[in-house]
Structure 1
Amino acid sequence: MHNLIILFILTFGQIVNHPKSTAIPAKTVVKANSVINPIDPPQYGTPFKGVPATKDIVMYEVNFRTFTPATFKGVQARLDAIRNLGVNVIWLMPTYPVGHLKGFGSPYSVQDYYGVNPDLGTLDDLRMLVAEAHQRGMAVIMDWVANHTAWENGWTAVHKDWYLQDAAGNIVHPPKTNYTDVAALNYQNKAMRQAMISAMKYWIYTANIDGYRCDFADNVPANFWKQALDTLNTIKTHQLIYLAEGTTGAETKAGFQLSYGFDYYGTLKGVFAGTKSTDDLFTSNQNEIATISSRALKLHYTTNHDNAASDGSTLTIFHNQQGALAAFVLATYMGGVPLIYSSQEVGYVNGSVDYNTNQDIAAAYKNIISFRKANEAIKTGKLTTYNHPDVVAFEKRAGNDDVLVLVNVRNNAVSYTVPPVLQNTQWEDGLTHSGVTLTRQLTLQPYQYLVLKKG
C-alpha cells in the first residue's frame, strides 16, 4: 500500500463509475463478544486439501474493478480462464466494507474486519467464489490490512486506546506516511492484537479461505506477525499460505512463506530502461534471497495493483508486448514465485477490462507458466550465470533437469557469443519443442527470449 493517494486516484480512478460502498454508520461496532471473548465460528465448507507447496505456487491477484461485473460473481465467471493460465493460488484484494470518512474509496480502508463490501456481493457470494476456486484446484487467499483501519471502523468508537494518538488524545493517521484516510493502530495494546488475530481466524472458518496476503507488513511489528501466524497455524484443518508485503526479512522469520521482491522488480524495470545493468538483476536476486529465511521465497512480479497505478501496464513498463513477456520470463524463471495481476494477461491496466481481447498474450503467459510447472530446475535448481551487457543468460540445474534461459533485454537485435562450455550442445526449445543446436554465435531479435531444455 505505497503511494496511497496516487494509488487510489489511478488504480481506482474509475471509482466515479462505480457506486460507493454502502456506508456503515460510524457508531456501528463489532459485537463485544467477538472482541473480548473471541469464540471461533463453526467451520464452513470442507477445508481445501490441494494447497500447493510454496515453490509450486503460481499466484493471480484479483482487482475486482477490472472485472465486469466488478463483483464476486464477475470473478467467479472467469475462474476457468484464470485456472487455464496455470494459476493455483488466487489473491483477492480487500473484500471488506470500505471507509469513506476522510477517504478516497480505497479498499485498504477497512470499515469492518468482519464484514463484506456490498458492492462486491454477499458472504454467500464470497463463499461460492472460494468453493468454485477450490473445485478447480485453486487456493484462495484474502488481503489483510493490519496497520490501520478506516476512521469509521467500529473500533474507533469503543476502543480508542487501540489506536495511536497525539498529545491531545486524538487518533492519528500512520506516522511518516500520507495515508490520511486511515487511522493508525497501536500494537502496544494486547487486546487489540488479540482482536486482530480473532478477526483473521474468522475468515478461515467462515469463508474457508487458505491464507492471507498482508498489506504494509513492514510497518507492523514482526512479533505481532509471529503471534498471529503461530495462532493461525493451530488451525490444523487448513494448510495456510502467508504472503507479506514486506522487505526486511523479519516477516519470513516470523512465519511468512512469501515476501515481496520489491528490489527485484525495480531492478528489472531499470534493466529494460537501460538504467541498470544485467548484472544488477542477479545481484538484486541474490541479495533478496539472503534476507529471507531458508524456507521462504520471494514473490516476483512485473506488475501489481500498486505498480499498475504508478507505472502503467506491463506493455508500457517494458516497452511493448514482447518486452512484457521477456520480463515475465525473467521474473518467473530466475527464482521465487510468479504473480500475474488481473488484466496483465491481456495487456490492460486497471479499469473495466475486455478479457476476450489479446488472447495471444494470454496464450504466451500460459506457455511460460506451463514450462515452469513441468521443470523442477526452474523452481529449485542451482543458478549459473552466463551474462552479457544486453542478454540476461543463466542455466538452472536440479538433478537431470537442465534449463538454459537467454533473454534479450534490448529493443534491437543483439549478437550473443555463446560461452565455450555451451558451444556445440544440443537442446530442445522448451516453448516450441523444436531442436536447437548452440554454436559460437547466436542472434536474438528485439526482446526475444529462448528457453532451452536438455533433451
Structure 2
Amino acid sequence: MEQQFDSRYQPEQYVEIILPEWAKNATVYELNIRQFSEEGSFRAVERELPRLKAMGIDIIWLMPVHPIGKLHRKGTLGSYYSVKDYFGVNPEFGTEEDFRNLVKAIHDAGMYVIIDWVANHTSWDNALVNDHPEWYRKSRKDTFQSTRWRDYDDIIELDYSHPGLRQYMTEALKFWIREYDLDGYRCDIAGFVPIDFWENARGELDAIKPVFMLAEAEDRELHRKAFDATYNWTLWNILHQLALNERSVKTLTEAYIAEHVSIFPKAGIRLNFIDNHDKNSWEGDQYSNFGAALNTATVFTVMMDGMPLVYSGQESGLDRSLEFFEKDPIEWESYQNQKLYTKLFTLKHKNKALWNGNYGGEMVRIVNDKMDEVISFVREKDGDKVLTFMNLSHKSVTVQFDTSFDTGMYTELFTEKEHKVPETVILTMDPWEYLILHREAQI
C-alpha cells in the first residue's frame, strides 16, 4: 500500500513533545512481577535492583500493578490486563506501602519506573460497569463486548466518545504520578484508544513532571504530541525471518531501514526487542525464535537506533514460555546472557552515536559486496562513532566493505583490541558473526 504522508510532517520538526533528558541513552527492563520470583512480590523485586542497575538498566517497566478482575477470569490468577481498579494495588504483589517502597528503591538506585496502563478495556467487575455503563462499547445485542476479533473474553471495551471517561482516565493517570512519583507509562494497545486522548493526557502529565511514555503500537503519529517511544514489531518480525533463513538481508535494509530513516521522525524512539511478555507467552521463547542468530539479533537491536528492551529472565537464559494466568516463576540460574547486555549497554551509555532519538546518530550504510547476507553501517554523533558489520545469514562469507569515509583507529567492543580501519576492509565472517568497532571523541 502506498505510504500516505502527513502534510505537516517534517523529519526534524514533526515531534512536538520533549523527551526527558534522563531517557536520552536509556535502556528498559520489562518486569513480570508474578513470575520474577517465587514470592512474586514488590519486596522480592527490590532485592534484585542492584543487579539490574549493574547490568545497565535505566527504566524498570512494571507490568500492571492493579487489582485483577475475578468475573470471567482466565486461569487461577487472571490476566494483568483485566483491570478491576485503576486506583488500587494488586494484593497479589503486596501493599500500597510495599509499592511506594519499591518506587523509592528504584529511584534511589538511580533508575526510573514506569507502569503498564490499560486504557482500552476493564474487567467485567470494575466499578465503572455499574457506575457508568454508558462508558462501554456495546454489541449489536446492546451487551458489553470484549475486544473485537480477539479472544479476550475476560475484559470489556471502553468507549472514548464520552468526555466523562476521558476525564476519569486522565485523572487516574495523573494520580499515580502525583501519589507514587512514577516516571511514566507503557500504554497497552495504545492504538485502540483515540490519539487525541493520549495527546491531551501527555500534556497534563508533563505539567506535573517530565514523563516518559511508551506505546504498544507502531504508528508514527503517536510520536507527535503523545509518546516518546513505540514498539518495533516490524523489526522483530524481520529478524525472526532472517533467523529462520526465510528472507534476504535486503528485507531488512531495503524494505525496512530505508523507509525507517526516510519517513520516521528522528525524535521518535523505537523500542527494539528480542522478547517481551506477548512474544514469550504465545509465540515461543528467545531461543526457539532466533536459534543460532540470538546473540547477533540481540546486538543488532542495540546498534540500530532505538531503545533496547530486556524481558524478565532473558539475561538468565529463559528458554520457555512463561504461564500467563498461573504462577510459573523464572528459574534463575547462570545469568548466561547478562555479560552480553552489560557490555552493550555500557557502550550505549557512553557513546553518543547510540543514544536515543535526536540525541543519537543516524544509521548510514557502509556499502559491501554481499548485500544479501551482510549488513554494515555507521552511526556518529559529536565525534563518537560506532561501526557495525554483521553476517545475518547461515553461511560463511568473505565480504569487502567500503570504509573510505570511516578510516582510523577503533576499539573492538568484545575483545577490547585496537583495530585500524583502512579505506577497504575485507573480512571472512562465519554465520551470524559480527564485529562492533567504536571510538569516543577526545575531550
- Bucket of the pairwise TM-score, normalised by the shorter protein: 0.7 to 0.9
AA aligned opposite 1:441? I
Distance in 1 (alpha carbons) for counterparts of 2:267 and 2:406: 36
How far 1:185 sits from its partner (Å)?
0.3
Q: So what's the TM-score if we normalise by structure 2?
A: 0.85
Question: Partner residue of 1:44?
Answer: none
**SS of the residue 1:329 aligns to:** helix
- Is the aligned partner of 1:182 residue 2:155? yes
Question: Partner residue of 1:108?
Answer: 81
1:134 aligned to 88, 102, 107, which one? 107
AA aligned opposite 1:64? I
Gapped regions of structure 1 (runs ≥ 5): 1-50
Distance in 2 (alpha carbons) for counterparts of 1:423 and 1:194: 53
Distance in 2 (alpha carbons) for counterparts of 1:226 and 1:366: 35
- Is the aligned partner of 1:372 residue 2:357? no
- Is the aligned partner of 1:161 residue 2:139? no
Distance in 1 (alpha carbons) for counterparts of 2:397 and 2:35: 37
Question: Partner residue of 2:8?
Answer: none
Distance in 2 (alpha carbons) for counterparts of 1:329 and 1:112: 39
**SS of the residue 2:218 aligns to:** coil
- The range that moved more, 195-204 or 140-149, is 195-204
Distance in 1 (alpha carbons) for counterparts of 2:199 and 2:315: 35
How far 1:377 sits from its partner (Å)?
1.3
Distance in 2 (alpha carbons) for counterparts of 1:124 and 1:353: 25
**SS of the residue 1:141 aligns to:** strand
Deviations 1:118-149, CA, capped at 9 Å, x for gaps: 11111111111110010011000010000000
2:66 aligned to 93, 96, 109, which one? 96
AA aligned opposite 1:268? L
Distance in 2 (alpha carbons) for counterparts of 1:290 and 1:202: 39
Structure 1 pair 286–130 and aligned structure 2 pair: CA distance change class (3 A): farther
1:376-391 to structure 2, matched below 5 A, reads 376-379=352-355, 380-385=360-365, 386-387=367-368, 388-391=371-374
Distance in 2 (alpha carbons) for counterparts of 1:140 and 1:432: 33
Question: Partner residue of 2:230?
Answer: 259
Structure 1 pair 422–190 and aligned structure 2 pair: CA distance change class (3 A): closer
Question: Partner residue of 2:10?
Answer: none
- Is the aligned partner of 1:205 residue 2:178? yes
Deviations 1:389-447, CA, capped at 9 Å, x for gaps: 22221111223222111122234433222336379854321232102245653122332
Distance in 2 (alpha carbons) for counterparts of 1:391 and 1:168: 55
How far 1:358 sits from its partner (Å)?
2.7
Question: Partner residue of 2:4?
Answer: none
Structure 1 pair 304–372 and aligned structure 2 pair: CA distance change class (3 A): same
1:287 aligned to 235, 245, 259, which one? 259
Deviations 1:53-80, CA, capped at 9 Å, x for gaps: 4331101000113311211112111111
**SS of the residue 2:329 aligns to:** coil
**SS of the residue 1:418 aligns to:** strand
- Is the aligned partner of 1:361 residue 2:337? yes
Structure 1 pair 195–291 and aligned structure 2 pair: CA distance change class (3 A): farther
**SS of the residue 1:382 aligns to:** coil
Q: Is the 8 A contact 2:238 2:252 kept in 1?
A: yes
- Is the aligned partner of 1:344 residue 2:305? no
Aligned residues: 401
Distance in 2 (alpha carbons) for counterparts of 1:332 and 1:423: 20
AA aligned opposite 2:364? T
1:404 aligned to 358, 370, 387, which one? 387
Deviations 1:25-78, CA, capped at 9 Å, x for gaps: xxxxxxxxxxxxxxxxxxxxxxxxxx6543311010001133112111121111
- Is the aligned partner of 1:418 residue 2:401? yes
Q: Is the 8 A contact 2:363 2:378 kept in 1?
A: yes
Question: Partner residue of 1:308?
Answer: 280
Identity, % of aligned positions:
31
AA aligned opposite 2:205? L
**SS of the residue 2:281 aligns to:** helix
Distance in 2 (alpha carbons) for counterparts of 1:113 and 1:423: 52
Question: Partner residue of 2:434?
Answer: 449
- The range that moved more, 361-370 or 161-170, is 161-170
Distance in 1 (alpha carbons) for counterparts of 2:263 and 2:295: 28
Q: Is the 8 A contact 2:261 2:363 kept in 1?
A: no
How far 1:92 sits from its partner (Å)?
0.3
Structure 1 pair 261–288 and aligned structure 2 pair: CA distance change class (3 A): farther
Distance in 1 (alpha carbons) for counterparts of 2:383 and 2:299: 22
AA aligned opposite 2:416? H
Deviations 1:145-201, CA, capped at 9 Å, x for gaps: 000000000100111001011344322112333322111101011101111111111
Distance in 2 (alpha carbons) for counterparts of 1:292 and 1:273: 27
- The range that moved more, 94-103 or 413-422, is 413-422
How far 1:294 sits from its partner (Å)?
4.2
**SS of the residue 2:346 aligns to:** helix
AA aligned opposite 1:61? E
1:240-251 to structure 2, matched below 5 A, reads 240-251=211-222
- Is the aligned partner of 1:318 residue 2:303? no
Q: Is the 8 A contact 1:302 1:314 kept in 2?
A: yes
1:56 aligned to 25, 34, 39, which one? 25
- Is the aligned partner of 1:121 residue 2:79? no
AA aligned opposite 1:433? E
**SS of the residue 1:96 aligns to:** coil
**SS of the residue 1:318 aligns to:** helix
- Is the aligned partner of 1:394 residue 2:377? yes
Distance in 1 (alpha carbons) for counterparts of 2:70 and 2:408: 62
Question: Partner residue of 2:51?
Answer: 81
Deviations 1:206-228, CA, capped at 9 Å, x for gaps: 22111100000011000111121
AA aligned opposite 1:57? A
**SS of the residue 1:203 aligns to:** helix
Distance in 1 (alpha carbons) for counterparts of 2:351 and 2:286: 26
Q: Is the 8 A contact 1:407 1:448 kept in 2?
A: yes
Structure 1 pair 289–402 and aligned structure 2 pair: CA distance change class (3 A): closer
AA aligned opposite 1:245? E
